[in-house]
């Protein structure tokens, strides 16, 4: 061994190198250990820790093996080295294999690390979103009570506005369910439809309110086809049997799944408007016909006077000829009938000179007329009931013409009853409207709707031949219009009190009171 000492530098370097490999592997192991302590969950540092441990094992087994071999060989204990050399080599092989295996797994560890890093990034972003959501939830939770209070206040204000509109509207506002039954209705609707309480109409079928079945069928068909109806004019029946006219605007209500949930609608009462329109139409008609009647009356009045004059002269000359005299009497009678018709035409046309006007007590006029007519009424067993309001204001008008109108209407009531019945007379003052009403009712057969539309037309009459000229109501209509009023016919009556009194027809004369005329 001494003869080989020139190789000492090689062995020395090998020996020192082995020791330094052990030292550096321990240093690497130390730093890997510290990194794992700083970040225990790091996969990379954990991998480096085990890799460093394998390196330490390899360095120790190889370095210690080299050092022991040099020492044993140097001191001539080669037989001992031969005993332990296989074990040292095996340990070196195992350590080297461990380092190789860990090295081979580095790429897999990188993939794992990348995946872990991506997952960590996703988790980080998710965590950020969760934190933002948590913050928003926290703010919402803090402001929830305030938001709920604000929403509740808005809903309360909205409900208040709707309720105010619903309760305060003067039109009919109603809601129906899918079976066309009334679910809710405003107070004005209850009043207009003639019910006393809201509960009396809730649950009723809307069909029951229609007076005309054909009109209801047309209404439902249109509503089902279009889903809404606008400005549908309908004739509705009130519980007391009276009729009102309304314009309906209705929309269908549907649930979220499209099924029918009911309908909502608004109805406007146009009964009074229709009456006024009919009165205006009648007034225009009367004015046109009046102008024609005046011209015709003046044109035929002169020849009639001549015919009557010559007839009377011929009567004086033919008194000895009885047959001729009787024929002339017939001519005279029929000529006078013609002159009476002409006089009625002149009254109707209102072209006759106006009589003086004065303050007229309506109750007194009625008493004066009844003093003349009561006997003839009693002869046919027709009794008169009077309800004349005391302290009735006077009106400004022509007493004779007003008596003529009252007498004409009572005569019409007499003819409607014929025998055995009741005529009702009422007077009343409506201070709110500034008018006086004269109501003349009868228990006769009533007036059919088609006759009501034409009853004020000139020469229209339902009486038999030689029982009327058809000018009475037309003349009366013109007289009342000259006094600033109008005549309204109701058959059957709209008001329950007249129905309870047994009246089938009432004629209502509307006249402005004296104060209203003076202000005008």
What value does the mean pLDDT take over residues 124-142? 81
Residue 39: band (very low, low, confident or very high) from pLDDT cuts 50, 70, 90 = confident
| 225 neighbors 244 (Cβ within 8 angstroms) | no
| Model confidence pLDDT, tens digit, residues 152-204 | 787 777 767 767 676 777 888 888 888 888 888 888 888 888 888 888 888 88
What value does the mean pLDDT take over residues 433-461? 77
CA distance readout (Å), 261 to 179, 255, 310: 9, 6, 84
Let me know how long the chain is.
520
* Residue spans per domain, the chain: 2-104, 169-269, 274-349, 358-519
Say which CATH architecture domain 169-269 belongs to: 2-Layer Sandwich (3.30)
Residue 396: its pLDDT value, please? 86
Above 80 in pLDDT, residue 86? no
Above 50 in pLDDT, residue 352? no
| Percent share of the chain, pLDDT over 70 | 75
Residue 19: band (very low, low, confident or very high) from pLDDT cuts 50, 70, 90 = confident
Residue 99: its pLDDT value, please? 67
DSSP β-bridge partners for residue 229: 250
Residues whose CB is less than 8 angstroms from the CB of residue 186 and which lie 6 or more positions away in sequence, other chains included: 166, 167, 169, 172, 173, 174
CATH 3.20.20.150 fits 358-519, yes or no: no
Residue 485 three-state SS: coil
Residue 148: band (very low, low, confident or very high) from pLDDT cuts 50, 70, 90 = confident
Cα–Cα distance measured from residue 259 to residue 178, given in angstroms and rounded to the nearest whole number:
9
Residue 330: band (very low, low, confident or very high) from pLDDT cuts 50, 70, 90 = confident
| Percent share of the chain, pLDDT over 90 | 3
pTM: 0.40
The neighbour count for residue 307, using CB atoms within 10 Å, is 16
**Of the candidate ranges 262-266, 280-284, 356-360, the one whose mean pLDDT is the lowest:** 280-284
Dig out the tokens for 406 from the structure. 């009252």
What value does the mean pLDDT take over residues 470-487? 77
| Model confidence pLDDT, tens digit, residues 192-225 | 888 888 888 888 888 888 888 888 888 888 888 8
Backbone φ and ψ for 464, nearest 5 degrees, come out as -70, 175
Give CA torsion, residues 199, 205, 206, 207, to 10 deg: -140
Above 80 in pLDDT, residue 408? yes
What value does the mean pLDDT take over residues 474-493? 83
Backbone angle region of 258, left / alpha / beta, with phi > 0 → left and psi within -120 to 50 → alpha: left
Above 80 in pLDDT, residue 96? no
Dig out the tokens for 419 from the structure. 């025998």
Residue 206: its pLDDT value, please? 84
Cα–Cα distance measured from residue 4 to residue 351, given in angstroms and rounded to the nearest whole number:
170
Above 60 in pLDDT, residue 4? no
Cα–Cα distance measured from residue 192 to residue 209, given in angstroms and rounded to the nearest whole number:
12
| 315 neighbors 330 (Cβ within 8 angstroms) | no
The neighbour count for residue 425, using CB atoms within 10 Å, is 22
**Of the candidate ranges 16-30, 399-413, 498-512, the one whose mean pLDDT is the lowest:** 16-30
Mean predicted lDDT score pLDDT of the chain: 77
Residue 243: its pLDDT value, please? 85
């Amino acid at each position: 061994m001494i003869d080989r000492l020139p190789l000492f530098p090689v062995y020395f370097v090998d020996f020192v190198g082995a020791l330094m490999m052990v030292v550096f592997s321990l240093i690497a192991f130390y730093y890997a250990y510290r990194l794992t302590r700083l970040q225990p969950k790091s996969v990379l540092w954990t991998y480096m820790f085990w890799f460093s441990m394998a390196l330490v094992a390899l360095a120790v087994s190889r370095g210690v093996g080299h050092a022991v071999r040099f020492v044993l060989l140097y001191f001539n204990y080669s037989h001992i080295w031969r005993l332990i050399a296989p074990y040292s080599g095996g340990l070196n092989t195992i350590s080297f294999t461990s380092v190789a295996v860990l090295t081979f797994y580095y790429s897999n560890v990188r993939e794992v690390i990348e995946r872990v890093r991506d997952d960590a990034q996703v988790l980080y972003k998710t965590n950020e979103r969760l934190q933002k959501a948590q913050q928003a939830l926290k703010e919402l939770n803090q402001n929830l009570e305030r938001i709920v209070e604000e929403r509740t206040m808005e809903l309360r204000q909205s409900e208040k506005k709707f309720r105010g509109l619903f309760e305060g509207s003067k039109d009919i506002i109603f809601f129906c369910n899918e079976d066309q039954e009334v679910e809710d209705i405003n107070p004005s609707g209850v009043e207009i439809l003639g019910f006393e309480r809201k509960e009396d109409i809730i649950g009723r079928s809307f069909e029951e309110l229609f007076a005309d079945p054909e009109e209801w069928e047309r209404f439902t068909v249109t509503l089902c086809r279009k889903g809404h109806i606008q400005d549908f004019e309908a004739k509705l029946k009130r519980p007391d049997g009276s009729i009102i006219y309304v314009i309906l605007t209705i929309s269908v209500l549907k649930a979220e799944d499209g099924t029918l949930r009911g309908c909502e609608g608004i109805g406007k009462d146009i009964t009074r408007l229709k009456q006024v329109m009919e009165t205006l139409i009648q007034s225009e008609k009367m004015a046109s016909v009046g102008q024609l009647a005046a011209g015709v009356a003046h044109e035929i009045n002169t020849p009639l006077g001549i015919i009557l004059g010559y007839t009377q002269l011929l009567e004086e000359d033919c008194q000895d000829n009885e047959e001729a005299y009787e024929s002339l009497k017939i001519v005279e009678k029929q000529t006078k009938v013609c002159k009476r018709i002409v006089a009625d035409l002149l009254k109707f046309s209102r072209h006759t000179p106006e009589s003086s006007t004065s303050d007229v007590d309506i109750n007194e006029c009625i008493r004066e007329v009844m003093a003349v007519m009561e006997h003839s009424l009693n002869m046919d067993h027709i009794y008169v009931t009077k309800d004349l309001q005391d302290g009735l204001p006077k009106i400004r008008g022509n007493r004779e013409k007003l008596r003529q109108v009252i007498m004409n209407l009572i005569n019409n009531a007499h003819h409607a009853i014929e025998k055995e019945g009741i005529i009702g007379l009422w007077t009343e003052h409506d201070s709110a409207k500034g008018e006086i009403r004269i109501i003349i009712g009868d228990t006769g057969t009533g007036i059919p709707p088609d006759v009501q539309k034409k009853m004020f037309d000139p020469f229209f009459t339902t009486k038999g031949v030689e029982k009327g000229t058809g000018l009475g109501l037309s003349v009366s209509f013109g007289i009342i219009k000259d006094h600033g009023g109008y005549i309204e016919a109701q058959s059957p009556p709209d008001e329950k009190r007249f129905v309870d009194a047994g009246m089938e027809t009432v004629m209502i004369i509307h006249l402005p009171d004296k104060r209203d005329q003076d202000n005008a």
